[in-house]
Chains A and B, each alone.
Chain A
Amino acid sequence: MKNRSVGALATTAALALLLTSCAQSQRETDDAGDNGDGATGTQSAGGGAEASDATFVFGAAGAPTTFDPFYASDGETFRVTRQIFQNLIGIQPGGTEAVPELATEWTSEDGLVWDFTIQEGVKFHDGTDLNAEAVCANFERWADQNEAGQSPSGAYYFGNDFGFGEDSLYKSCEATDEFTAQVTVSRVTGKFPMVLSQASYAIQSPTAMDQYKANDIKLEGEAFVFPEYATSHPTGTGPFTFESYDNAGGTVTLARNEDFWGDKAGVASLVFKIIPDEAARRQELEAGTIQGYDLPNPVDWQALKDAGNQVLIRDPFNILYLALNPVADPQLEDPLVRQALYHALNRDQFVTSQLPEGAEVATQFMPSTVTGWDDSIAAYEYDTEKAKQLLEQAGKSDLTIELWYPSEVSRPYMPDPQRVYDQVKSDWEAAGITVETVTKPWAGGYIDDTQASRAPAFFLGWTGDLNSADNFLCAFFCGDDNQFGTSAYDWHGELQDAIRAADAEADEAKREALYKELNTNIMSPEWLPGLPISHSPPALVVAANVQGMQPSPLTAEDFSTVTITE
């Protein structure tokens, strides 16, 4: 039955998409009350959307950790909280640039003192007014965390971006007038205030946080227990309000915020259904019991499209790399060996055979959308002969190397780790290198060992949190015990200084230049601490009758623009 109407649906969807984009601007004024049953797809897409009492069911891969994004660091949580909350700084739909959200503008003279002008007329879901006081209450709350809250498993982002205690980047927040919050930071950094666009820094209702003890995160035995606020009373300003979370049935239900200050949500009810099994998510979509899901397997994209669904591909904002660690294997201290290992790789073949359309070969340790990416860096070309020559030159023609890959894991940048390993192994073997394989479960030793410099060559990756070169480079190379073991190289100090200097540069243009230089250095034959492999675009899929879903490279999709036609 479904199959017969595929063609019609696809046409309708295409038309509807066109119309929605045109109709977008009129949505505020257009208040067509009757979302008639008889209305055809194209009509209701433009008009009746706002008053629609439709339910949008979206398949999620895992359960959210908590509903207080401040204590979360995982996409499953943020997907939900992004709908309930808003930040001072938003992200341009479908992009990575900063746009005004709860703050209409932000300015600073010196990069230390920042004035945020707060949007007027905004109310939290519990009726509390949003003003500078409320914003500062959030900043104060972030900085004032107990021991459990300061844990890497508590407020991970704040701990990472700002840090707690004396050395914290955050200094103070003051409401200079009702709608101006003045935030002072302790040093100049390129990532502030852009960090505030991350889901973790959602502005939450101070009243609700007080009432339900939002800061009361506790350590109990071997785990964290979240306060009542985080489990059942998250209160934000977003287009949806929290309704319920059914643990046993695996569903999170949100309702349209009828008093939302911006464009009201296109569906009355938004349900996230947790379906851990990938194949099961797809079948639910085919059966029509869900209208979309995240991270469809690239293998299924074509079939999903053929069935009339829309596969929405996000711009890749991640990187998969092969790290080489000279602390684990001193042979790697020789740059010739590292170059040889890189030239031996046929990354083009890997990208075309294993990664979805839209994937790219990486030339440096960040995707091209990040400011600081240097387009003048050429990819190390695939040349087995050259690799052999380099090895001979290094006196390592009979090189034996341990290659690690993780099991029990699938990451957006690495859908199937074994297939990457296959490629690298066969390429290296073609260059006369003997490859010894080590595989460990992701959470069963792989992460521990690779971070403790016990693995000579291994695969790992990163999904960016925001458009910040530091977010990528520092995650890889900061510190004396980083996973690349750069402390074994004589340029280690230079690298550390360069990362710090670039981040502390207040002028944007100069900062970008510094990052470009840094990228060039890192990829130079002398440095080359590891081998960037690819950027892989994660996708999401929605049914043919779903309009208005805008894929975001940061996986920060806004579900309020979604409408459903019958």
Chain B
Amino acid sequence: MTNPGPAPDLTPGVPTPSTTGATTDPTPDARRHGALGALADRKKKRIDALAEAGTISSEEGVSLWQSAWRRLRRDPVFLIGAVIVLLFVLVAILAPWLAPHDPRARDLIGQVTPATPIPEPQPGYPLGGDNAGRDMLSRLIVGSRQTLIVGVLATLGGLAGGLVLGTLAGGISGWVDTIVMRIVDVMLSIPSLLMAFSIAALFARPSQWTVILAIAIIQIPIFARLLRGSMMAQRHSDHVLAARALGVRRPAIVFRHMLPNSLGPVIVQGTLVLAVSIIDAAALSFLGLGNPDDSIPEWGQMLGKAQTFFNTYPHIAVYPALCIIVVALGFTLMGESLREALDPKSRR
């Protein structure tokens, strides 16, 4: 559109063919690992392409990040996404000061009766209350913080797990690589949401932490594969060879030289995973596997618990749902355009 850059076949917001598995051949990996590999092929290819992308950008140094940024800041899709995310983060940080009331205080409990379980909007309470008489607006505002925490912690948890596995595999290679990647491939091949249900259901006492943990675990294989791919790509790159020649010890090479260079793809994947985490957390709550204590609000939980009122008071569900949709969309838009900007293919 207005983008003069050398990306002829790209429309904003659309993943490139290479990253979505548009080719039919199974990857060599899939051939070697057989069926489990084959089914997870698409996921893997997406991840691998991303790993590759980040690495190349790092090899070419700052200029590529710069060129990516130049493209991004003119990309309306990225800008929209970034503004949404920025607003969301700001609200989350400032929540206690923005919220007009304590989200736990049952200010409107006097108006709650079984016949009128949801207090109506009124002065001081522009969105009304919930069925415990708590201010809806405050809960939405403070809920943003909890939602961000769930999303970020789940993503960080997945990243941490992925980091360990990915570094083990990519940094050490050999039989460790084989075993770790086998596990990762199996995990990748199981439908993630189904796995999250199972994990969450198997905890003795559901809480916010079990939700975070369940979602974090399903992200581990994605990050693991991403990091491994990125490290494998770097293994023969000049800066690593140079470090090795200089006699730098292996862990040092891995942590000081290879890891920092894998950051690009990790950031991209992280933004996308954040969106998924928030949606998955809502799904878990909906199934009754979420945090049973709703005194501290979280959007997914608010939506999950609103099902009782959907027919009579749809707004109770619609508010948190809209928040989730907008924020998830923001992260997705940002992530997808970041991915494109870093994709070497789009720069040919």
**Given A282-B311, A426-B106, A353 contacting B113 (CB threshold 8 A):** yes
Identify which of B109, B294, B309 contacts A418 (C-beta below 8 A). Answer: B294
Contact assessment for B288 and A418 in the assembled complex, using a CB-CB cutoff below 8 Å: no
Does B250 belong to the interface (CB within 8 Å)?
no
Contact assessment for B114 and A354 in the assembled complex, using a CB-CB cutoff below 8 Å: yes
Does B131 belong to the interface (CB within 8 Å)?
yes
Contact assessment for A353 and B109 in the assembled complex, using a CB-CB cutoff below 8 Å: yes
Does A279 belong to the interface (CB within 8 Å)?
yes
Does A259 belong to the interface (CB within 8 Å)?
no
Does A441 belong to the interface (CB within 8 Å)?
yes
Does B79 belong to the interface (CB within 8 Å)?
no
**Given A303-B311, A419-B132, A352 contacting B205 (CB threshold 8 A):** no
Contact assessment for B114 and A356 in the assembled complex, using a CB-CB cutoff below 8 Å: yes
Does B206 belong to the interface (CB within 8 Å)?
yes
Contact assessment for B312 and A300 in the assembled complex, using a CB-CB cutoff below 8 Å: yes
Does B69 belong to the interface (CB within 8 Å)?
no
Chain A: CB-nearest residue to B108: A353
B84 shortest CB reach to chain A, Å: 31
Most buried by B among A278, A299, A300: A299
Residues of A within 8 Å of B205, CB to CB, are 439-441, 444-445
Residues of B within 8 Å of A302, CB to CB, are 114-116
**Given A299-B131, A353-B112, A418 contacting B293 (CB threshold 8 A):** yes
**Given A353-B109, A445-B205, A279 contacting B114 (CB threshold 8 A):** no
A105 shortest CB reach to chain B, Å: 43
Q: From DSSP, what is the main secondary structure of chain A's interface residues?
A: helix
Complex CA gap A352/B110 in Å reads 9
Identify which of A301, A418, A444 contacts B204 (C-beta below 8 A). Answer: A444
**Given A355-B114, A357-B115, A441-B206, A407 contacting B311 (CB threshold 8 A):** no
Does B295 belong to the interface (CB within 8 Å)?
yes
Complex CA gap A391/B308 in Å reads 39
Complex CA gap A301/B115 in Å reads 7
Does A437 belong to the interface (CB within 8 Å)?
yes
Identify which of B106, B114, B295, B308 contacts A278 (C-beta below 8 A). Answer: B308
Does B133 belong to the interface (CB within 8 Å)?
yes
Residues of B within 8 Å of A426, CB to CB, are 106
Contact assessment for A299 and B309 in the assembled complex, using a CB-CB cutoff below 8 Å: yes
Please encode chain A, from 319 to 358, with 1 for each CB lying within 8 Å of some chain B CB and 0 for all others: 0000000000000000000000000000001001111110
Does B21 belong to the interface (CB within 8 Å)?
no
Query: How many residues of A sit at the interface, in one of the four size bands?
Result: 20 to 34
Does B292 belong to the interface (CB within 8 Å)?
yes
Does A151 belong to the interface (CB within 8 Å)?
no
Contact assessment for A283 and B114 in the assembled complex, using a CB-CB cutoff below 8 Å: no
A282 shortest CB reach to chain B, Å: 7
Does A422 belong to the interface (CB within 8 Å)?
yes
Does A408 belong to the interface (CB within 8 Å)?
yes
Residues of A within 8 Å of B67, CB to CB, are none
Does B3 belong to the interface (CB within 8 Å)?
no
Does B310 belong to the interface (CB within 8 Å)?
yes
Complex CA gap A297/B308 in Å reads 8
Complex CA gap A331/B120 in Å reads 42
B263 shortest CB reach to chain A, Å: 40
Contact assessment for A303 and B109 in the assembled complex, using a CB-CB cutoff below 8 Å: no
Chain B: CB-nearest residue to A286: B311
Chain A: CB-nearest residue to B307: A279
Chain B: CB-nearest residue to A440: B205
Chain A: CB-nearest residue to B117: A299
Q: How many A-B residue pairs have CB under 8 A?
A: 65
Identify which of B114, B131, B288 contacts A301 (C-beta below 8 A). Answer: B114
Residues of B within 8 Å of A299, CB to CB, are 114, 117, 131, 308-309, 312
Complex CA gap A301/B310 in Å reads 14
Identify which of A279, A422, A437 contacts B132 (C-beta below 8 A). Answer: A422
Does A94 belong to the interface (CB within 8 Å)?
no
Contact assessment for B115 and A418 in the assembled complex, using a CB-CB cutoff below 8 Å: no
Identify which of B114, B133, B294, B311 contacts A298 (C-beta below 8 A). Answer: B114
Residues of A within 8 Å of B112, CB to CB, are 353-354
Residues of A within 8 Å of B133, CB to CB, are 353
Please encode chain A, from 436 to 471, with 1 for each CB lying within 8 Å of some chain B CB and 0 for all others: 010111001100000000000000000000000000
Chain A: CB-nearest residue to B115: A302
Residues of B within 8 Å of A282, CB to CB, are 311
Identify which of B113, B206, B295, B310 contacts A422 (C-beta below 8 A). Answer: B295
Contact assessment for B106 and A422 in the assembled complex, using a CB-CB cutoff below 8 Å: yes
Complex CA gap A445/B204 in Å reads 8
Please encode chain B, from 39 to 70, with 1 for each CB lying within 8 Å of some chain A CB and 0 for all others: 00000000000000000000000000000000
Residues of A within 8 Å of B106, CB to CB, are 422, 426
Most buried by B among A282, A303, A422: A422
Complex CA gap A437/B288 in Å reads 19
**Given A408-B288, A437-B293, A439-B205, A303 contacting B312 (CB threshold 8 A):** yes
Chain A: CB-nearest residue to B289: A408
Residues of B within 8 Å of A355, CB to CB, are 114
A197 shortest CB reach to chain B, Å: 31
**Given A279-B311, A441-B205, A441-B206, A418 contacting B113 (CB threshold 8 A):** no
Complex CA gap A115/B131 in Å reads 54
Complex CA gap A356/B112 in Å reads 11
A357 shortest CB reach to chain B, Å: 7
Chain B: CB-nearest residue to A304: B312
Contact assessment for B308 and A418 in the assembled complex, using a CB-CB cutoff below 8 Å: no
Residues of A within 8 Å of B204, CB to CB, are 440, 444-445
Residues of A within 8 Å of B295, CB to CB, are 422
Residues of A within 8 Å of B110, CB to CB, are 349, 353
Most buried by A among B288, B293, B294: B293
Most buried by A among B114, B288, B308: B114
Contact assessment for A357 and B114 in the assembled complex, using a CB-CB cutoff below 8 Å: yes
Complex CA gap A282/B114 in Å reads 16
Tell me the chain B residues, 264-300 only, with Cβ under 8 Å from chain A: 288, 292-295
Please encode chain B, from 86 to 119, with 1 for each CB lying within 8 Å of some chain A CB and 0 for all others: 0000000000000000000010011011111100
Residues of B within 8 Å of A349, CB to CB, are 109-110
Residues of B within 8 Å of A419, CB to CB, are 131-132
Contact assessment for B293 and A439 in the assembled complex, using a CB-CB cutoff below 8 Å: yes
Residues of A within 8 Å of B132, CB to CB, are 419, 422
A299 shortest CB reach to chain B, Å: 5
Residues of B within 8 Å of A418, CB to CB, are 292-294
Complex CA gap A299/B115 in Å reads 6
Residues of A within 8 Å of B312, CB to CB, are 299-300, 303
**Given A354-B114, A439-B205, A440-B205, A283 contacting B311 (CB threshold 8 A):** yes
Residues of A within 8 Å of B109, CB to CB, are 349, 353
Complex CA gap A441/B309 in Å reads 23
Residues of B within 8 Å of A445, CB to CB, are 204-205
Complex CA gap A352/B294 in Å reads 21
Residues of B within 8 Å of A283, CB to CB, are 311
Complex CA gap A349/B206 in Å reads 29
Residues of A within 8 Å of B116, CB to CB, are 302
Residues of A within 8 Å of B288, CB to CB, are 407-408
Residues of A within 8 Å of B308, CB to CB, are 278-279, 297, 299
Contact assessment for B310 and A279 in the assembled complex, using a CB-CB cutoff below 8 Å: yes
Chain B: CB-nearest residue to A283: B311
Please encode chain B, from 70 to 93, with 1 for each CB lying within 8 Å of some chain A CB and 0 for all others: 000000000000000000000000
Chain A: CB-nearest residue to B112: A353
Tell me the chain A residues, 271-290 only, with Cβ under 8 Å from chain B: 278-279, 282-283
User: 8 closest A-B pairs (Cβ-Cβ)?
Assistant: A407-B292, A298-B114, A353-B112, A302-B115, A356-B114, A299-B117, A303-B312, A439-B292
For this complex, 16 residue pairs linking A to B, each with C-beta atoms less than 8 Å apart, are A279-B310, A282-B311, A299-B117, A299-B309, A300-B311, A303-B311, A349-B109, A353-B112, A353-B133, A354-B114, A356-B114, A408-B288, A419-B132, A439-B292, A439-B293, A445-B205
13 additional A-B pairs beyond A300-B311, A419-B131, A440-B204, beta carbons within 8 Å, are A278-B308, A279-B307, A279-B310, A283-B311, A301-B114, A303-B312, A349-B109, A354-B112, A354-B114, A357-B114, A426-B106, A441-B205, A444-B204
